[in-house]
Amino acid sequence: MAQPQPHFLLVTYPAQGHINPALQFAKQLTLLGVKLTFTITVSAYRRMTKSNQIPQSFNFVVFSDGYDDGFNSNSGDSKLFLEQFKIRVIQSLKETIDSSAKNGTPVTCLVYTILLPWVSEVALDHKLPLALLWIQPASVFRVYYYYFNGYDKLIGEDCFEPSWSIEIPGLPSLKSRDLPSFCLPSNPHDSVKSILKELLHLLSSIERPKVLVNTFDALEEETLKEIDGKIDMVAVGPLIPSAFLDGNDPTDRSFGGDLFETSHDYLKWMNSKPQGSIVYISFGTLIEWSKKQKEALAYALIESKRSFLWVLRDKDGETKADDHEEISCIKELQQLGLIVPWCSQLEVLSHPSLGCFVTHCGWNSTLESIACGVPVVAFPKWSDQATNAKLIEDVWGMGTRVHVAVNEDGDVDGEEIRRCIEMVMGEHERGETMRKNAKKWKDLASKAVKQTGSSYINLKAFVEQSGSTFDLLKDKNGGI
């Protein structure tokens, strides 16, 4: 009997930072001959369709999570949302698995991203091979693994002392400012920490679980080594459209899942600027800064006297009516640069006029700066961002990190931001080293995803192995 085409069922949390790498991973799988079904909420799919760039190489299963107009975390009950989301996702996955089997295209592997730990239970119930697509660096996975295996007891209230540090196997020495925020005593997001704990716990119940990481071997060689002989991490990234990475497919210029609409007028403005002259500022889709922090950043941009492109938006991807009014020096700012509600980040980062990226250090943004060879001013706020900033500055040497003021609101002083921008953009020796290192990592990232590269070979081997695992499970259970 002919072996069926591999059929992967992929599910992700409906946030931009989760959707983008998941979509790119899906595209990579289809190029390897995999039939791919992508599970997504009604609200996210509706917003994705507005971009008219949704990938056509695989199928979408769209389900309602009860919030078809989107969930507002500012006014909604997050706990209720997550409980309902879990129920609806499990129902959708089960229906898809059952219908696919009836249609003669059985699901042969179930892949899920972070914040969805209970998906592993669906795979076990249906006796399916399972893989976690880890959309943060391998370094952060390693921190969480050890944190939930006893190292949490080493991180007490004294961790904020200047002399404190922690040694985690496979990682450089870390200060409290380098740890993911969920590992700190000051963490206000216990629900997220609980989800991560459950994720690690369920992984530990699986023999040699497969963790696919959006990174590449050269970037995190030591960190990617197996953990305690129990967990294998496999690098399959950077999961970034080909046109901005290896160039094998010039038409692949978008992830295909942008939840926010954008114009491209800013590109005309960028075309008019000298090479390497523009400062790009963007803090992702979730972070919102105080008026005081925006003023400090505006001060830094004016004092630097450099052209800039600043993405300033609310959670709906729009510039607030009073955003410009919030900034007292708006007229001076507008003489130097542009403020936009959203943009195509990869188009900006790959533009020859760009000189540096002031970023929150979300992992997608970090990888995109690496893929485009852009040095960074690291401005982390929460989650994995602090660890990413540590890697950018001290391990990869392609950026500098702002020092947060020791005050009641934790804002960064405008003069400190200006100093960091000048460090990266100016003639300082460290800036030159950062730019050289950024170029080095760009070349290595491109090499990793070519057909002779480590990430391509790793992904191909995973697809082949998952097929063998499915056949083994099918034989054990007398057919699935």
> Rounded distance, CA 82 to CA 292, Å?
33
Look at the block and give the residue holding tokens 């000051």: 186
Q: Which of 7, 18, 351, 360 is catalytic?
A: 18
Which residues have a Cβ under 8 Å from the Cβ of 343 and sit 6 or more positions away?
262, 266, 282, 309, 311
In 3D, which of 367, 358, 412 has the Cα closest to residue 140? 367
Q: How far apart are CA 123 and CA 251, in angstroms?
A: 35
Q: Give residues with Cβ within 8 angstroms of 257, minimum separation 6.
A: 16, 19, 20, 23, 44, 48, 51, 54
Burial (CB count within 10 angstroms: exposed 0-12, middle 13-18, buried 19+), residue 197: middle
Name the token pair of 17.
């930072």
CA distance 221 to 94: 37
The amino acid occupying position 70 is: G
> Residue 450 contacts by C-beta under 8 Å, 6 or more apart in sequence?
246, 248, 456
- Residues 137, 236: contact at Cβ < 8 Å? no
Which spans in 152-224 are helix H?
190-204
| 62 burial level (CB within 10 Å; 0-12, 13-18, 19+) | middle
Which of 27, 241, 1 minimizes the C-alpha distance to 10? Answer: 27
Active site residue 7: no
Give 109's strand partners.
Answer: 8
Give the three-state DSSP class for 179: coil
Query: Contacts for 363-366 with beta carbons within 8 Å, 24 or more apart?
Result: 363/17, 363/135, 363/136, 363/137, 363/140, 363/214, 363/388, 364/17, 364/20, 364/21, 364/135, 364/284, 365/282, 365/284, 366/137, 366/391, 366/392
- Round the CA-based radius of gyration of the chain to a whole number and report it: 22
Catalytically annotated residues: 18
